[in-house]
Structure 1
Amino acid sequence: RWIAGRARARAARGGARSTRAATGLYDLASNDYLSLARDPRLAAAASAAEREFGTSAAASRVVVGTLPVHEELETSLCALTGRGHALAFSSGYTANLGLLGALGGPGTTMILDEHVHASLVDGARLSRSRTLTAAHNRHDDVARLLAARDTPRAVVAVESVYSVLGDAADLVGLAAVCAEYDAVLVVDEAHSIGVHGAGAVAAAGLAHDPRVVTTATLSKALGAQGGAVLGSGDFGAALREHLVDSARTFVFDTGLAPGPAAAAAQAARIVAADPALPGRLAERSAQIVAALA
């Protein structure tokens, strides 16, 4: 009865969802920004990995689930983004949950932009940290909250390109604020890596900044499945080891399947080798806008 009541409330608010397959339509809602999900090069890489390693990692990566294809993926992501260290997760959602959970605790203040993805909100909640919300795209509000904090550690979480409005964060300004107040900046690049080549963090000149931590999904522009946390410098190296030891969505989850891992690695190599690819996306977007107008 409770579930039925919740369903009626959602329907009254227009919040009911469907998982029916959409066929015979023009797709303007896909996350496959670069059309790599059907690229034969990705399919071939996934097929080869499955023939060699099987269809599943078959264990947590801290047991016997780490395969050469995972290391290949992490190397390819570092080469694409200019970051020094990477750790692959089973999804972008679990990457955000694991990262914030591992960085959080009673001694950490989490500050989230009010438009961040649900995975960052859930990660902050699960971290048992004091969590505050900053006005959207206002690094002066982030500075105000950091100045008032009473914990030894602070994490600021934003998206480089927001899925809510499609606007971009001022990463340079945010990085300066975090440096001033000794905070770690977490940038979710789900809608930026691939779409903007190496991503917005690299474009902002922050790829080698150890205070900036990047998370990414491999299921959007890279056309595969999985997620990753990336960092640089000594802190990036230490963070990777910390996540291996304490990120619950890494330790207690089966590793990313070999097929998607290989496909994502191939996609990263394609994007790195073809800097014109994101430009073609912009051209097609402009064509659609002009046609609809």
Structure 2
Amino acid sequence: MAKPKPPFLTRAGQYTANLILSAPLKLALCLPYRPRVWLMGAMMSRVLAPLLGYRKRVRDNLDLVWADLPEADKRRLARQVPENFGRTLVEIYSGAQLKDHLADTKPEGPGVAALEQAHAEGRPVILVSGHFGNHDAVRATVSRDFSPVGALYRPLDNSYFNEHWEAAIESVAEPAFARGRRGLAQMVKYLRSGNIIALLVDQHVSDGADLTFFGHPARTTLSAAEMALKYNALVLPVFGVRQPDGYGFRAIIQDEIPHGSAEDMAQAMNDALEAMVRQHPEQWFWVHRRWKQRGKKKAG
């Protein structure tokens, strides 16, 4: 068994990695808003994605769950998915300017009325989404038009990068809760007080429920559903859909997910995201290792 690296070397490695990974962001942030968004998308798609293996991972996932998608579409998505990720990343780092850019974007969709009613009644609300479009576009607009939306985020292993990543998340909307015992306790207290929280539910969870996504087994968290049932929270799927110009968004709030079993509610969250991804496949982060239990069934 290899010995753990001394703390100094670990810190030095993280510091160096942070310098390298932050350089494209810092370069883009020197530019006005629209050029920076374009540049970060281009750099992620054309330079960083091939180096990081993102294109291959996009293709592998598409080959698994969307095998009959035309080859030309798979090649296109291998370029467009990292581009959307790069744009989203620099938009989050441009918190104040992102919110200015969203000034004319209003929450829309059949779930807006339910959100308005819950907000008026002081009922807890859980907005659920995935790494699609720019999920923080919805958090920013709902925070502006209703009340601050608390977000749960996973602290990054690189402490140097995590420091400015946390600040970026909070620049879009506060509060932000770090995943962990303390952060989860703070988030639950915030929710129980009748507030709104936002959760991303589209990543593999080793101890999650055996549900499906794109017709394949996908371990899925039940935490959002379980909190909704425990605290009588309204659950609304939401999506920040990037518009064809690459800069604008629609902040879509869908119909509420009715209370039932936690498994049924979580599957409904998967289904809502899948339907949106099928409409805009270039906007979901196909780089995730979402299907670690590879089933035999293939969905078209």
TM-score (norm 2): 0.34
Query: Which one has the bigger helix percentage?
Result: 2
